[in-house]
């Protein structure tokens, strides 16, 4: 279900809507879990049928028709978690340490039970004598169900997605 797009002045974080603060709080909790590589708990933040995408083409919205870095439904996301935690992947075993900030939140869409928030993410990673930076625009669609807010869609548009991307054993 699409959220209603908001334009211009309506895009600021609306502090009169308690859902906005709850959504931002969820986004920060997600960032914490990903930096801590607590992937099983991260999986619990998702609603059923969630879509997790790291596209190559920053402008596309038809992810199914194009090649992506990540294009996960529930099944692929859980297999990804299994790979990162199962002990059989040498890159996961030697995963980079990461610290990420997620900020510059703006609400880009709202409807009855969902809110869409676009944020800036700056991730600093470290592995074997090298420290690197990955920057991205991140869009979350947060759905408010009976069990509280959950992520129904997350799209991570890296600034350098069309060139060589450095990533080693962590998730964006």
Contact footprint for another protein (CB under 8 A): 54, 56, 64-71, 76, 79-80, 82-83, 86, 88-92, 94, 128, 162-169, 171-172
Helix (H, G, I), strand (E, B) or coil at 48: strand
State the nearest-atom distance from the C-beta of 84 to another protein, in Å.
8
Q: How far is the CB of 114 from another protein (least distance, A)?
A: 26
For another protein, the closer of residues 28 and 63 by Cβ is: 63
Largest CA distance in the chain: 49
Closer to another protein at the Cβ: 86 or 148? 86
CB nearer to another protein: give 125 or 149.
125
Helix (H), strand (E) counts: the chain: 4, 7
State the nearest-atom distance from the C-beta of 111 to another protein, in Å. 28
**Minimum separation from the CB atom of position 54 to another protein (A):** 6
């Amino acid at each position: 279900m699409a959220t209603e797009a908001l334009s211009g002045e309506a895009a600021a974080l609306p502090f009169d809507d308690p859902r906005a603060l709850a959504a931002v709080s969820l986004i920060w909790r997600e960032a914490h879990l990903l930096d801590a590589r607590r992937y099983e708990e991260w999986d619990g933040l998702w609603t059923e049928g969630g879509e997790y995408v790291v596209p190559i083409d920053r402008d596309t919205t038809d992810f199914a028709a194009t090649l992506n870095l990540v294009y996960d439904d529930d099944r692929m996301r859980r297999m990804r978690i299994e790979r990162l935690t199962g002990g059989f992947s040498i890159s996961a075993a030697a995963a980079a340490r990461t610290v990420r900030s997620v900020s510059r939140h703006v609400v880009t869409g709202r409807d009855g039970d969902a809110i869409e928030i676009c944020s800036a993410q700056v991730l600093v990673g470290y592995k074997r004598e090298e420290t690197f930076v990955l920057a991205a625009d991140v869009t979350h669609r947060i759905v408010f169900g009976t069990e509280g807010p959950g992520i129904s869609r997350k799209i991570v548009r890296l600034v350098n997605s069309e060139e060589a991307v450095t990533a080693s054993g962590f998730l964006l």
